[in-house]
Chains A and B, each alone.
Chain A
Amino acid sequence: MSNDRTNFTRRSFLRSTALATGGLIAAPMIMRHAALGSEDPILIGSLHDQSGPVGTSGVPMVRALELGIEEVNAAGGVLGRPLKLVHYDTQSNIQLYTQYAQQIALKDKVAVIHGGITSASREAIRPIFDRYKTLYFYNTLYEGGVCDRNIFCTGTTPAQTVEKLVPYSLERWGKKVYIIAADYNYGQITAKWMEKYTRDNGGEVLAIDFFPLDVTNFGSTISKIQQAKPDVVFSALVGGNHTAFYRQWAAAGLKGSIPISSTTFGLVNELAALEPSESNGIVSGYGYYEELKTDASVKFVSALKEKFPGIPYISELAAGTYEGFHLWVKAAQQAKSIDRMKVIEALETGLSFDGPTGKVTLDKATHHSVRNAFLAEAKDKLWDVVASYPDQKPSDTAAVCDLVKNPNDNKQYVISL
């Protein structure tokens, strides 16, 4: 026990007290407890970009994981074992994603992986975790449609956010829309959902433009948009380079004349970077905003800001990661095992967690989450939440995916118009 004194933590205290009480009851128990206590920690995998064009989004996600692990460890770990983070910086590079995915599944043998930010990265690593039977959590909002029993997608999908954002914008500003989006699977598919919901609500899509992630000059597009005279611009632009669009838009003086609604604005710290004159009035729809004033949200945000001063904006990405992590912890505790299939079965029992975004419940048929959604308007570098939609179902994915009926389904369904 003298060794423990130098390294005294709440966990070791709990363990030693348990040992002492257990010892009174049955001697063999001590042996087992001692064996458990000396076991290696449970490894939690993390593949998130910390650098490169989407790096800004990844930093708060890893921070949220670190916070979650610290909390769980302080409360005694999972199944008596502490948790330990195994993190690789994927540097916004798909090749590194596949490389690290193999490494984290085969060499590190983590119990679960949280990771992938862009849809491109998720689709690159998903087959690897399927092949090596490693449970995978994708905690980013995305375009929906992934149907695979090995993955849990805790972020919002178009039916939860775009379906609210589009009618709100059409009603407020008018029926003619112009869509601009990033040129990869997220942007392409989200643009289709924007188009669908615009039509469903009696609107008209004037044009859709896609931009490679390294496009920095939006001059000709801004002229095209002016020529088309839309009532509102829908933007699914992604990453640091695309932030230039909002600056050039404001510099041309269009900020006041054509409003913008976005499914991505604010995810890479845009609100902190842009001037209020450039961002005010832009409307977005997400599953979480740092500004939410619920107790759980305030606690989450202040814990992160205290532990990691200077952390970038805490968006749905970080909140979703934190909740995805806690859902796994709950499932492992319920299953009394970290075995992949046992944890999946526990997660499929309609497990829920009360997180910073509110109550998150996993849906058995789609492996997606039923969660709250919000609309907010940028106001002086902050989000002013203007509408909230409780317990939204991932109905887009539910329309095509039923893992109860087809447990071996394994593909991403894409909307066709």
Chain B
Amino acid sequence: MDLAAVLTLDVLNGVASLILLCTGLAVIFGMMKIINLAHGEFLMLGAYATVVAVEAGINIWIAMLVISPVFVGLVGLVVERTFIRLLYGRLVDSMLATWGLSLFLVGLITTIFGNTIKSVPSPLGGFTIGAYRSSLYTVFLVVVAIALLGGLWVLMRRTRFGLIARATMQNPDMAAAMGVSPPRVYMATFGLGAAITGLAGGLLAPVAGVLPTMGAAYIAKAFITVVAGGTSIIAGGATASGLFGFINQTASYLTTPVIGEVFLFVAAIILIRLLPQGISGRFFRGSL
């Protein structure tokens, strides 16, 4: 029974991590059709923002939950203004540009901080369930993931910004005719996606080794989850994260971590073969 509780927590942790990892990417990819190959590096920037802020003596919660998303969001705005805006509708060009951006960011951070591992201490302790111990931080990540999805849903469904954003994504010309400025909406959406990724990076900092190349370890999973989720960023992302997180963690537990990774990717291939439009293309069509 205790074991079941701990394992459930592991699965929830796996799911929550995937949600955090892929939501920012989903906003940029799902809504704007920009394949952001610098996603992993945005994550890395978020992690560094937290590390630097904590080293400067700022409270870790403020660093993770405020500084990281705001900083990476601003970086996102600059990136969008400088070159992404020239590349809308040009899929391959945008991939090349963001890939170049990712190399640049890795080089820049290596030059500034060196390629040694940085880290911040994990802020919450552990707790016991019967004979087992688990980390409170895991629970915290689950709460943040739920809050993130909830917040995004409210933003997109219940606010004027959300309405305008959705309208612009569906039909930019019509939105423009209604007096909306699509470039400005694109800019804000890209910034939002970057900020969410920055938040994920900040939250990862206490449980990962922070180094300039850390993004590479996360980007494949983030892309697979977003592609499998389909165009609905919330419904699709959450179900794909749930499915893959469950498969990965359970298979890792039952067999080995190597097989766990293999299962995740096999499941993704099968899923994309059966549902080329992603989960939401079939089951949550038209939803967020």
Contact = CB atoms under 8 A, between A and B. Distances in A.
Contacts of A274: 119
Nearest to B126: A253
A248 B260 contact: no
Given A219-B14, A247-B206, A312-B116, A56 B211 contact: yes
Interface stretch (B85-93, B130-138, B157-165, B224-232): B130-138
Contacts of A268: 116-117
Given A210-B256, A240-B214, A243-B117, A227 B3 contact: yes
Interface string B251-288: 01100111011000000000000000000000000000
B253 A224 contact: yes
B138 A219 contact: yes
B209 A219 contact: no
Interface string A400-412: 0000000000000
B121 A275 contact: yes
A90 to B, nearest CB: 13
Interface in A261-286: 268-270, 272-275, 277-278
A248 B122 CA distance: 8
Interface in B31-89: none
Given A55-B115, A215-B261, A221-B257, A251 B137 contact: yes
A138 interface: no
A397 B1 CA distance: 48
Q: How many interface residues does chain B have, given as a range?
A: 35 or more
Contacts of A337: none
A243 B119 contact: yes
Interface stretch (A45-53, A75-83, A163-171, A342-350): A45-53
A56 B115 contact: yes
B126 A269 contact: no
Given A214-B217, A217-B17, A244 B134 contact: no
Nearest to A224: B253
A56 B116 contact: yes
Interface string A230-256: 000000000011111001101111100
A254 B206 contact: no
A217 B119 CA distance: 16
B51 to A, nearest CB: 10
B135 to A, nearest CB: 4
Contact of A216 (B137, B208, B260): B208
Contacts, number: 146
Contacts of A52: 115, 213
A70 interface: no
Interface string A199-241: 0000000000111101111011111101100000000000011
A183 interface: yes
Interface stretch (B5-13, B170-178, B182-190, B195-203): B5-13
Nearest to A274: B119
A257 interface: yes
A274 B119 CA distance: 7
A220 B8 CA distance: 10
Contact of A252 (B117, B135, B209, B216): B135
Contact of B249 (A183, A220, A252, A312): A220
Interface residues of A, number: 49
B118 interface: yes
Given A252-B135, A273-B117, A275-B121, A242 B209 contact: yes
B7 A252 contact: no
A216 B208 CA distance: 7
B116 A269 contact: yes
B125 interface: yes
A209 B133 contact: no
A59 interface: yes
Contacts of B181: none
B100 interface: no
B104 interface: no
A251 B141 CA distance: 13
B121 A217 contact: no
A242 B214 CA distance: 11
A28 interface: no
A269 B253 contact: no
Interface string B106-125: 10001000111111011011
Contacts of B214: 240-241
Contact of B258 (A210, A217, A257): A210
Contacts of B135: 248, 251-253
B5 to A, nearest CB: 10
Contact of A51 (B17, B115, B133, B218): B115
A220 B127 CA distance: 16
A221 B121 CA distance: 21
B206 A251 contact: yes
A251 B252 CA distance: 20
A204 to B, nearest CB: 19
Given A248-B135, A251-B135, A240 B211 contact: yes
A136 B44 CA distance: 36
Contacts of B121: 275, 277-278
Interface of A: 50-53, 55-56, 59, 92, 183, 209-212, 214-217, 219-224, 226-227, 240-244, 247-248, 250-254, 257, 268-270, 272-275, 277-278, 310, 312
22 contacts: A53-B211, A56-B115, A56-B117, A56-B211, A209-B256, A210-B256, A211-B257, A214-B217, A215-B217, A215-B257, A216-B218, A219-B13, A226-B131, A247-B122, A247-B209, A251-B122, A251-B124, A253-B126, A254-B126, A269-B116, A270-B117, A275-B119
Given A217-B14, A241-B217, 12 more contacts: A53-B211, A55-B213, A211-B258, A219-B10, A219-B13, A220-B252, A243-B117, A243-B119, A257-B133, A272-B116, A272-B117, A273-B117
- Of all A-B residue pairs in the complex, the 8 with the closest CB atoms, nearest first, are A253-B126, A243-B209, A251-B135, A251-B122, A220-B253, A273-B117, A219-B10, A214-B217
